[in-house]
């Protein structure tokens, strides 16, 4: 299954540019004068940027007090460790919930240090996203407000409560409106508090505002079926998936859940049985979902709606008014083939669109109705409650404020002064409101415009519940006392509404006792404690009810085609698309350094957003990578650097949302540019498409902080890929043959344990959750934009992204030769997690002069940090380039007098892992601390170690189960079975270093011209 393709990491490698050649002459980035290191960081020579987390304010002294105080009055119940008292050196796990997903929070000596997925969770079944992994760091953010504020000054809670209650009473007497603006709330208890508040103040209306809206889908279901819901999609029941710009593996609705579902139809069992699903993807910008598709067709933003119209025509055998071909032979042929495939997969097919346009989603509903998808791959009876925003209500709110009808407005987890598409108009309207209250934990853009700020707890300090999916209820419980003088927003609302229950914990518990626990026969103390140990309750799903689609599609088609015509770019113009990425997301997490330094999966850019343009389009506009351009659309303009993105549709541009914050905190302020103003209100919903003009600004090029091209394999065999059709034709093990090898090393026995790993390239989507999990588990420092530019990122695991195309230049649906730049429109993408391979014949061990890196009797390549003298011989000799050198003393340095004291820095860290110091090499340890903990636990229980007792951090967080770790000496272990797969190969096997990580060949279920 060796691929005949050429794989390359970036255009500079493909074209072998002089800069790329020069960089790869040097094994290490050269030392740079401290003055240059500090350029653009705002730091002085006395306080160098050697400890990034401390510089940006993470690791706070108040946490030590919160962790050491007496346990809360209402005690949380440990998940695994009994009794509940803290035992020094032993971790306690508490169940909780984050954005509706059941999680486990690992605490040490009273402080949360790690988030894991709850193995019984309905969504990820133990896997969680990068953003969930990084959420624990927000607790230790010194940018959080230390207490309540009034008129931008500190105040006491009692004074604030007195003032707010007086203002609300006056507003109630005047008859003016009260508006509570929140992001989606699916907590039954919080909704109960809001209902009680509304009963006290009858002019209150709850306005749900999501920065990235799904109103189009919800309203389309109302129009099509009379059900205003966000469906629950079942990708695990789909044999064929056709997506139009829906990044369901990245940021669309429930990506961790969808990743698990998606991979279940594409894993080893699915491939071997020949029942692997097929995924066809149409989009403008290269997304993580599009890059994983079997067939990806780049189309312009203006063509997505027309493509759906043509797909409907091909399935229904009709011609809607205004229909016409796209003028793109590849796309037109792919639509015809996709329609045939969909008809053959009725009842097992799923069509989705990432558009927030109601008419577009109505047409998607019509297509899925023809395919019999409702009740199978789409569930309207057990809907998702993850997004419930109503765009029309937000627009109406602004008009109400402008007219002076609103006396009070409150913001809970909503920041429209930053992320509303006309933020200045929102801020101006807000000035006409008498009482403005923000519950933000930070003094963010909206809180800065409010006269009252009542800072909310971090979720790790809170009680609560969530209901992200019909019938699935999760509990939120605190894992630490409040670090600062904050208070839960729900408790503030209870106090201000003179509720008989002033304590939110009591409110939550009463709500569960009288509803869900009572229904399950679990009311009372025993039921409550059971809930706090399991973390959730799952009610039996509702039976599917038949749906009938009846809608005049002629008007729908005309609306779609008319909107597409308005988006068509003219001479010198680009069709712009703004999108949510998988790192900082909608911008709420912009102050989290783990997420800012997480490479964006496709571009591998950190610490910035950019304008992604196709290489052919850039050539036509006389632009090069790194050129600073001014891009303007919808009356807004900003300056951003250009990124040449293979796979981007020609004539289009893509910009990520979530950047350009001005009041996020030390980390997020001034990172990138705000793309929300490019959005527009069209047909009642917020949409992220526009026609843009670009102008080159000249000057020096901007060097984006990319991680992808820091290492090169010089064209050697690292990726293997095949198609399902080719794989099924070849007998099992046909390509496995013994090659003659020569060894310079002695062989050693692994008498008890031989720790190895298997990574399935067919399951890995490249999301990067494993990177953040490894950061949290192994105390890996953040180094910042400038150090990443110098190739000094410290991540122990990286996700390599490889582009490729058929050497003959053929597309999937036609045979003609195409030019090189056009060929870049039709690239394939493969992701490969790369970490220390723990080679049995490790070349790093041979060259270390001080035996700092040695091999264990269990097959692990170990580092002894206090032996290392920083020669870097080992990194030079590593063919995989997975070793990291500490250029600076990232964690501890006495010269950081302007920042936090060293004692408090330790509160962020995992005490089971040594923090490394300047001048040593470090790399993946296969979570040696977890291995030892697993052994110790088995010993205490007087039993042998079982397969699955030990899960390394990257494995545990992966929703796709792409990483399997275990003991190769156990023939029945999951990893042993995985490595016996006929798809298994070893990277650079010809070097005979005998790596301990086997990879399974990537398999794509391609379309064929005979389909």
CA-closest candidate to residue 745, choices 835, 850, 861, 876: 861
Which three-class secondary structure state does DSSP give residue 449? helix
CA-closest candidate to residue 763, choices 428, 273, 270: 270
**What is the pLDDT at residue 64?**
54
**What is the pLDDT at residue 818?**
42
Going by the DSSP 8-state scheme, the letter that residue 458 receives in this structure is P
In the predicted structure, residue 506 carries a pLDDT above the cut 60: yes
The residue whose two tokens read 């990483």 is: 963
**What is the pLDDT at residue 991?**
86
**What is the pLDDT at residue 67?**
57
| Model pLDDT for residues 372-390, shown as the tens digit of each residue | 999 999 999 999 999 999 9
In the predicted structure, residue 658 carries a pLDDT above the cut 80: yes
Highest-confidence segment of 2-6, 329-333, 409-413 = 409-413
* Tally of helices (H runs) and strands (E runs) in the chain: 35, 42
**What is the pLDDT at residue 887?**
85
HSE of 8, CA atoms in CB hemisphere, 13 A: 17
Chain centre distance of CA 581: 7
| Higher pLDDT, residue 3 or 482 | 482
Q: Note whether 792 and 783 are within 8 A (CB).
A: yes
Per-residue pLDDT band at 45 (split at 50, 70, 90): very low
Give the list of residues 6+ apart from residue 220 with CB closer than 8 angstroms, or none: 358, 359, 360, 361, 362, 364, 365
Per-residue pLDDT band at 906 (split at 50, 70, 90): low
What is the spatial distance between Cα 592 and Cα 661, in angstroms, rounded to a whole number?
12
Which of 39-48, 69-78, 112-121, 678-687 is least confident? 39-48
Residues in the chain: 1011
What is the spatial distance between Cα 191 and Cα 168, in angstroms, rounded to a whole number?
20
Q: What percent of the chain has pLDDT over 70?
A: 86
Q: Note whether 722 and 1002 are within 8 A (CB).
A: yes
Which of 56-70, 257-271, 486-500 is least confident? 56-70
CA-closest candidate to residue 309, choices 322, 299, 298: 322
What is the spatial distance between Cα 314 and Cα 1009, in angstroms, rounded to a whole number?
17
> What is the DSSP pairing of strand 349-353 with strand 240-244?
parallel
HSE of 510, CA atoms in CB hemisphere, 13 A: 11
**What is the pLDDT at residue 289?**
94
- β partners of residue 574: 692
**What is the pLDDT at residue 74?**
58
Which of 96-105, 135-144, 343-352 is least confident? 135-144
In the predicted structure, residue 897 carries a pLDDT above the cut 60: no
| Model pLDDT for residues 610-647, shown as the tens digit of each residue | 999 999 999 889 998 889 999 999 889 999 999 999 99
CA-closest candidate to residue 123, choices 143, 149, 141, 97: 97
What is the spatial distance between Cα 7 and Cα 802, in angstroms, rounded to a whole number?
6
What is the spatial distance between Cα 898 and Cα 408, in angstroms, rounded to a whole number?
40
**What is the pLDDT at residue 16?**
62
Which three-class secondary structure state does DSSP give residue 256? helix
3-state secondary structure 805-843: ECCCCCCCCCCCCCCHHHHHHHCEEEEEEECCCCCCCCH
> What is the DSSP pairing of strand 101-108 with strand 111-117?
antiparallel
**What is the pLDDT at residue 900?**
33
CA–CA distances in Å: residue 26 to residues 30, 782, 791, 844, 875: 8, 23, 11, 18, 12
User: What per-residue string of b and e applies to 650-663 under the rule 16 or more CB within 10 Å gives b?
Assistant: bbbbbbbbbbbbeb
In the predicted structure, residue 11 carries a pLDDT above the cut 90: no
| Rama region for 698: left / alpha / beta (φ>0; ψ in -120 to 50; rest) | left
In the predicted structure, residue 160 carries a pLDDT above the cut 80: yes
What six digits make up the tokens of 895? 């010269």
**What is the pLDDT at residue 90?**
83
3-state secondary structure 321-377: CCCCCCCCHHHHHHHHHHHHHHHHCCCCEEEEECCCCHHHHHHHHHHHHHCCCECCC
| Model pLDDT for residues 349-367, shown as the tens digit of each residue | 999 999 999 999 999 999 9
| Higher pLDDT, residue 740 or 408 | 408
Going by the DSSP 8-state scheme, the letter that residue 294 receives in this structure is S
What six digits make up the tokens of 609? 């957003």
Report which secondary-structure segment, H or E, holds 591.
none
| Model pLDDT for residues 169-208, shown as the tens digit of each residue | 999 999 999 999 999 999 999 999 999 999 999 999 999 9
Q: What is the mean pLDDT of the chain?
A: 85
Phi, psi for residue 1007 in degrees, rounded to 5? -75, 150
In the predicted structure, residue 807 carries a pLDDT above the cut 60: no
Q: Note whether 737 and 101 are within 8 A (CB).
A: no
In the predicted structure, residue 58 carries a pLDDT above the cut 80: no
In the predicted structure, residue 42 carries a pLDDT above the cut 60: no
Please give the average per-residue pLDDT across 771-784, as a whole number. 90
Going by the DSSP 8-state scheme, the letter that residue 733 receives in this structure is T
The residue whose two tokens read 């508040």 is: 197
Residue 464: CB atoms within 10 A of its CB come to 23
Per-residue pLDDT band at 1011 (split at 50, 70, 90): very low
| Model pLDDT for residues 546-593, shown as the tens digit of each residue | 888 877 888 999 999 988 888 887 777 899 999 999 999 999 999 888
In the predicted structure, residue 37 carries a pLDDT above the cut 50: no
Residue 163: CB atoms within 10 A of its CB come to 16
* DSSP notation for 163-227: HHHHHHHHHHHHT-EEEEEES----HHHHHHHHHHHHHSTTEEEEE--SS--HHHHHHHHHHHS-
In the predicted structure, residue 746 carries a pLDDT above the cut 80: no
Phi, psi for residue 434 in degrees, rounded to 5? -70, -50
The residue whose two tokens read 């962020």 is: 908
Which of 57-61, 294-298, 693-697 is least confident? 57-61
The residue whose two tokens read 């312009």 is: 300
Sign of CA dihedral 729, 733, 734, 739: positive
| Higher pLDDT, residue 919 or 62 | 919
The pTM of the full predicted model, rounded to 2 decimals, is 0.89
Residue spans of beta strands (DSSP E) within 896-953: 921-922
Angle at 521 between CA 520 and CA 524, to 5 degrees: 115
| Higher pLDDT, residue 56 or 870 | 870
**What is the pLDDT at residue 772?**
94
CA-closest candidate to residue 350, choices 243, 247, 504: 243
CA-closest candidate to residue 478, choices 492, 490, 462: 462
| Model pLDDT for residues 711-724, shown as the tens digit of each residue | 666 667 788 888 88
Going by the DSSP 8-state scheme, the letter that residue 879 receives in this structure is T
């Amino acid at each position: 299954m060796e691929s005949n393709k050429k794989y390359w990491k970036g255009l500079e490698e493909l074209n072998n540019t002089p800069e790329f050649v020069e960089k790869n002459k040097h094994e290490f980035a050269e030392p740079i004068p401290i003055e240059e290191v500090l350029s653009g960081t705002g730091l002085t020579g006395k306080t160098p940027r050697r400890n990034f987390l401390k510089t940006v304010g993470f690791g706070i002294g108040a946490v030590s007090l919160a962790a050491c105080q007496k346990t809360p009055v209402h005690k949380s119940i440990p998940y695994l460790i009994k009794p509940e008292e803290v035992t020094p050196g032993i971790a306690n796990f508490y169940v909780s919930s984050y954005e509706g997903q059941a999680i486990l929070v690992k605490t040490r000596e009273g402080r949360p240090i790690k988030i894991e997925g709850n193995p019984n969770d309905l969504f990820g079944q133990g896997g969680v996203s990068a953003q969930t992994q990084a959420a624990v760091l927000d607790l230790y953010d010194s940018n959080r407000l230390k207490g309540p504020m009034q008129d931008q000054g500190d105040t006491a809670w009692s004074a604030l409560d007195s003032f707010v209650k007086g203002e609300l009473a006056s507003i109630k007497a005047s008859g003016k409106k009260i508006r509570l603006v929140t992001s989606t709330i699916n907590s039954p208890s919080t909704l109960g508090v809001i209902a009680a508040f509304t009963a006290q103040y009858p002019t209150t209306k709850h306005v749900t505002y999501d920065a990235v809206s799904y109103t189009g889908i919800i309203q389309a279901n109302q129009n099509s079926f009379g059900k205003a819901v966000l469906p629950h999609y079942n990708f695990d029941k789909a044999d064929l998936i056709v997506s139009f710009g829906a990044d369901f593996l990245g940021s669309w609705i429930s990506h961790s859940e969808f990743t698990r579902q998606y991979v279940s139809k594409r894993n080893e069992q699915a491939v071997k049985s020949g029942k692997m699903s097929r995924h066809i993807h149409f989009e403008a910008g290269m997304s993580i979902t599009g890059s994983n598709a079997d067939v990806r067709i780049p189309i312009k933003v203006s063509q997505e709606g027309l493509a759906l119209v043509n797909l409907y025509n091909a399935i229904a055998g009709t011609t809607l008014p205004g229909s016409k071909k796209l003028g793109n032979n590849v796309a037109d042929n792919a639509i015809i083939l996709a329609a045939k495939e969909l008809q053959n997969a009725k009842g097992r097919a799923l069509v989705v669109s990432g558009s927030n346009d109601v008419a577009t989603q109505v047409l998607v509903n019509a297509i899925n109705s023809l395919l019999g998808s409702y009740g199978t791959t789409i569930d309207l009876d057990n809907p998702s409650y993850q997004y419930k925003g109503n765009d029309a209500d937000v627009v109406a709110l602004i008009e109400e404020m402008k007219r002076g009808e609103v006396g009070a407005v409150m913001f809970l987890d909503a920041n429209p002064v930053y992320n509303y598409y006309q933020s200045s108009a929102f801020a101006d309207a807000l000035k006409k409101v008498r009482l403005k209250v923000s519950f933000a934990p930070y003094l963010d853009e909206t809180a800065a415009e409010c006269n009252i700020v009542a800072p909310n707890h971090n979720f790790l300090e809170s009680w609560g519940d969530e209901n992200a999916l019909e019938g699935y209820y999760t509990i939120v419980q605190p894992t630490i006392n409040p670090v600062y003088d904050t208070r839960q927003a729900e408790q503030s609302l209870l106090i201000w509404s003179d509720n008989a229950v002033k304590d939110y914990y009591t409110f939550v518990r009463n709500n569960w006792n009288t509803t869900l626990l009572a229904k399950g026969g679990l009311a009372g103390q025993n039921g409550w404690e059971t809930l706090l140990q399991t973390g959730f309750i799952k009610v039996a799903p509702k039976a599917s009810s038949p749906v009938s689609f009846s809608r005049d599609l002629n008007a729908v088609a005309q609306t779609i085609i008319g909107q597409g015509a308005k988006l068509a770019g003219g001479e010198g113009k680009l069709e712009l698309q703004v999108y949510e990425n998988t790192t900082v997301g909608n911008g709420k997490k912009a102050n989290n350094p783990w997420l800012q330094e997480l490479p964006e999966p496709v571009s591998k850019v950190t610490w910035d957003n950019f304008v992604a343009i196709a290489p052919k389009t850039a050539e036509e506009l006389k632009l090069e990578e790194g050129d600073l351009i001014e891009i303007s659309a919808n009356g807004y303009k900003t300056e951003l650097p250009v990124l040449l993105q293979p796979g981007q549709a020609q004539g289009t541009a893509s910009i990520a949302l979530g950047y350009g914050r001005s009041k996020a905190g030390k980390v997020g302020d001034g990172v990138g540019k705000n793309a929300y103003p490019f959005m527009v209100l069209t047909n009642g919903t917020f949409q992220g498409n526009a026609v843009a003009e670009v102008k080159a600004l000249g000057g020096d090029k901007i060097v984006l902080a990319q991680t992808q091209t820091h290492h090169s394999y010089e064209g050697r065999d690292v990726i293997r890929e095949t198609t399902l059709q080719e794989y099924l034709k070849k007998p099992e093990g046909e390509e496995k043959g013994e090659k003659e090898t020569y060894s310079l090393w002695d062989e050693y026995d692994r008498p008890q344990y031989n720790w190895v790993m298997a990574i399935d390239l067919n399951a890995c989507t490249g999301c990067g959750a494993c990177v953040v999990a490894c950061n949290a588990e192994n105390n890996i420092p953040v180094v910042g934009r400038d150090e990443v530019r110098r190739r000094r990122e410290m991540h122990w695991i990286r996700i390599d992204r490889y582009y490729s195309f058929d050497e003959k230049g053929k597309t999937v649906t036609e045979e003609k030769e195409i030019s090189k730049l056009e060929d870049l429109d039709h690239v394939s993408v493969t992701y490969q997690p790369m970490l220390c391979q723990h080679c049995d014949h490790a070349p790093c061990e041979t060259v270390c002069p001080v035996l700092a890196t040695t091999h264990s009797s269990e097959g692990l390549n170990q580092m002894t940090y206090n032996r290392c003298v920083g020669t870097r011989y080992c990194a030079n000799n590593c063919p995989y380039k997975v070793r990291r050198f500490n250029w600076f003393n990232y964690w501890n340095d006495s010269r950081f007098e302007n920042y936090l004291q060293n004692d408090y820095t330790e509160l962020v860290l995992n005490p089971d892992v040594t923090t490394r110091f300047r001048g040593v090499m470090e790399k993946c340890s296969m979570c040696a601390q977890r291995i030892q903990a697993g052994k110790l636990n088995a010993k205490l229980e007087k039993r042998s170690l079982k397969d699955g007792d030990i899960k390394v951090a990257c494995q545990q967080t992966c929703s796709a189960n792409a990483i399997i770790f275990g003991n190769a000496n156990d023939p029945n272990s999951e990893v042993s079975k995985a490595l016996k797969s006929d798809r298994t190969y070893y990277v650079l096997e010809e070097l005979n270093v005998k790596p301990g990580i086997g990879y399974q060949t990537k398999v794509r279920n391609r379309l064929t011209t005979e389909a």
